[in-house]
Chains A and B, each alone.
Chain A
Amino acid sequence: MKKEIFIKMLVNELELENDEINDQSILNLTSLKQLSLISFLDEHFSLRIKAVNLKGIDSVEKLILLIGRDKFE
């Protein structure tokens, strides 16, 4: 997946208010947003993320690392 498309989908899925999201953008994952992220990653990357692994995800960059850089063009 292209990173720009991923970020656009992420903004939509997590209802992020800032349109200018990039790798360094901070993610504040509330419990509801964690549910959204789990379903988003399951649907688009067939990836199941344990809740404990979401705890340290506070930026787009860390999320991309968790998914795996090889999944992005």
Chain B
Amino acid sequence: MGSYIHSIECYLPQTVIDNYTLEKEFPEWSAEKIFEKIGILNRHIVSSNETALDLAYNAAEKILLDFDRSLIDFVILCTQSPDYFLPTGACILQDMLKLRKNIGAFDFNLGCSGYIYGLALSKSLINSKIASNVLLIVSETYSKHIHKLDKSNRCIFGDGAAASLILSSQEEKIHEFVLGTDGSGRENLIVKKGGMRIIDSDNASIVENYLYMNGPEIFNFTLDIVPDLVEKVLFKNNLSLDQIDYCIFHQANKYMLEYLRKKMKINPAQFYLNMLETGNTVSATIPIALKDCLNNGIVKTKDKVLLVGFGVGYSWGATIITI
């Protein structure tokens, strides 16, 4: 018994914010400089009445155009922008997508490591025979958490969703995982409003009401964690870096990824770096990248692809898949 990624579909909201729009709002930054430093030209942003659940629904409908929805026996939704405290978004999706009622469904709350954890959960459900056909959706709308004057985060983050079908197979194509957590970094990437710890958000400071990211400390975290994570996941899979055909890391920002790539001596031709049209879509960056690689023949059948996610929590994870 094994599992594999059968297909991926992505959905991005229609509104696009380009660097020239940001330059008009923040004239101290030029459009060219934004592109040069973070490698982003455009980011898609939801409208005021559009949510992560809407993006998730649209991505799921796209993938179910070519797959019999009556065969789906588990739905997993990863988001940090839920429509409601309760019920869970995955339950609403079961109804919106007209899926069977005798299926499992739940949400989990993770950011940039979310897709890796979603794959680990999907593989576990399949290998334990709880499910055979898992619909894994990652959907994020960080734009709703960002203050309009926060130029750094508005430049970096975009909204988006990706749906993946993880199915059972004879051969295991989702290999061993390494996962990690360090909650001591929680204050460095956080949205405090909306939870139960800070009830009176009207009186809270701007920092508490909106997304706060300590960029330099997040960078330090990735330098500490990612090289070791890659080494460990290669070891666990009895592989070396030169046996990996392609690497897809969470698309955080160009500067960070370039530095990590050089530090780990990964060939640029085997390293995905493309946030031009989407920005950092948090848990959706890895499947969006993987879909792009599949569409453009960057990865092909039987290739071994290293997937690495890291970020808010702190939380991180990596695995290797066979295409």
- Listed in ascending order, the chain A residues whose CB lies under 8 Å from chain B are 31-32, 34-36, 38-39, 42-43, 48-51, 54
Residues 191 to 242 of chain B near chain A (Cβ within 8 Å):
214-217, 219-220, 223-224
Is B152 engaged at the interface, CB distance under 8 Å to the other chain? yes
CA distance A38 to B223 in the complex (A): 10
Of A32, A42, A43, A54, which contacts B255 at CB under 8 A?
A32
Query: Which residues of chain B are within 8 angstroms of A48 by Cβ–Cβ distance?
Result: 220, 223-224
CA distance A14 to B184 in the complex (A): 30
**Binding site of B, secondary structure by majority: helix, strand, loop or mixed?**
helix
CA distance A54 to B219 in the complex (A): 13
CA distance A34 to B223 in the complex (A): 14
Is B266 engaged at the interface, CB distance under 8 Å to the other chain? no
Query: Which residues of chain A are within 8 angstroms of B152 by Cβ–Cβ distance?
Result: 31
Query: Which residues of chain A are within 8 angstroms of B255 by Cβ–Cβ distance?
Result: 32, 35-36, 39
Query: Which residues of chain A are within 8 angstroms of B259 by Cβ–Cβ distance?
Result: 39
Is B290 engaged at the interface, CB distance under 8 Å to the other chain? no
Name the distance in Å between B214's Cβ and chain A's nearest Cβ. 6
Question: Are A38 and B219 also in contact (CB < 8 A) when A31-B152, A32-B255, A51-B214 are?
Answer: yes
- Nearest first, the 6 closest Cβ-Cβ pairs linking A and B are A51-B216, A34-B216, A51-B217, A39-B259, A31-B215, A35-B219
Query: Which residues of chain B are within 8 angstroms of A39 by Cβ–Cβ distance?
Result: 219, 223, 255, 259
> Are B216 and A31 in contact, with the CB atoms below 8 A?
yes
> Are A34 and B220 in contact, with the CB atoms below 8 A?
no
Residues 36 to 56 of chain B near chain A (Cβ within 8 Å):
37
> Are A42 and B215 in contact, with the CB atoms below 8 A?
no
Query: Which residues of chain B are within 8 angstroms of A32 by Cβ–Cβ distance?
Result: 37, 255
CA distance A36 to B215 in the complex (A): 11
Beyond A38-B220, A39-B259, A49-B220: 9 further Cβ-contacts under 8 Å? A32-B255, A35-B216, A35-B219, A38-B216, A42-B223, A48-B223, A48-B224, A50-B217, A51-B214
Beta-carbon nearest neighbor of B33 in chain A: A32
Query: Which residues of chain A are within 8 angstroms of B214 by Cβ–Cβ distance?
Result: 51
Is B92 engaged at the interface, CB distance under 8 Å to the other chain? no
> Are B215 and A50 in contact, with the CB atoms below 8 A?
no
Instruction: Identify 14 residue pairs between A and B in the complex whose beta-carbon atoms are under 8 Å apart, listed by A's number.
Output: A31-B152, A31-B216, A32-B255, A34-B215, A35-B216, A38-B216, A39-B223, A39-B259, A42-B223, A48-B220, A48-B223, A48-B224, A51-B216, A51-B217
